[in-house]
Amino acid sequence: MPSETERTETERMLAGEPYDPNDPELVADRERARDLTRRYNRTAAGNEAKRRTVLGTLFGSGGETATVEPPVRCDYGYNIHVGEGFFANFGCVFLDICRIKFGRNCLLGPGVHVYTATHPIDPAERAEGLESGEPVTVGDDVWIGGRAVVDPGVSIGSGAVIGSGAVVTDDVPSEVIVKGNPATVVADVETDRPPGGTS
C-alpha cells in the first residue's frame, strides 16, 4: 500500500480526502470529460447509437443503456455509475469527484444537480485551494423532480420520490416522499399520506 506521500491526487480525491484539483492528471481528466460532454451535447436527437457510445465512454458504468437528454455536465464522468432504465432529463449536472451511483429505473427531472464536491468551512483553509468530496448513492426506482439538488454524502433509499426543487442535505429513507429546503419527509409512497398517519 502506498505511503501518504506516495499517493496521487487522484487517489486522494477518490478516497474523499483533501486533494489538489490543479494536479495535471486531474486537469487532463476534467478536460477529457468536457470534450466528451461537448460531443454528446451536439448529437442529433435521433442518433441514439452515437449517444450511447459517448455515454458508455464517459460514465464509469451503465452509459450504454442510459437515456440522458442533452445538455449534461459533469466533472470526470468515470465516477458516475447508473443502473438499467436510467433517465435524466435536460440540463442535469453531476459533480462527480467521488462516486455517484444510481440503481435501476431511476428518473431525473430537468436541471437536477448531484454534488459530491465540497470545500473546507474555514476560509483560510478554503483559500489554499484544496477540495474534498463524499459519495452519493441512490437506490432503485427513485424519482428526482426537476431542479432538485442532492448534496455530498447523501444516500437515497429505493422507491423514494424527491419533490421538484428539493435540497437534499440528509439521507432519505426508502419509499418516502421528500420536499422542501432542506428536504423533509412529507408522506409515505405507499399511502401518499404523512408518515405515521392512520389509514
pLDDT at position 2 is 52
Kindly state the average pLDDT of the residues 31-36: 98
| pLDDT, the chain, mean | 94
For residue 198, count other CB atoms closer than 10 A to its CB: 5
The verdict on residue 44 lying in a domain is yes
Cis ω on the peptide bond leading into residue 21 (within 30° of 0)? no
The verdict on residue 60 lying in a domain is yes
What's phi and psi for 132, nearest 5 deg?
-150, 180
The verdict on residue 15 lying in a domain is yes
Domain CATH code at residue 105 = 2.160.10.10
Per-residue pLDDT of 77-88, as tens digits, reads: 999 999 999 999
pLDDT at position 6 is 86
The verdict on residue 1 lying in a domain is no
The verdict on residue 193 lying in a domain is no
pLDDT at position 194 is 65
The verdict on residue 123 lying in a domain is yes
The verdict on residue 2 lying in a domain is no
Kindly state the average pLDDT of the residues 69-78: 98
Per-residue pLDDT of 146-199, as tens digits, reads: 999 999 999 999 999 999 999 999 999 999 999 999 999 999 998 766 664 433
The verdict on residue 197 lying in a domain is no
Would you say 116 and 152 are in contact if contact means Cβ atoms under 8 Å apart?
Answer: yes
pLDDT at position 198 is 34
Say what the pTM is. Answer: 0.93
- Structural domain for 161, as ranges: 9-188
**119 in active site:** yes
The one catalytic residue among 34, 50, 119, 147: 119
How many structural domains comprise the chain? 1
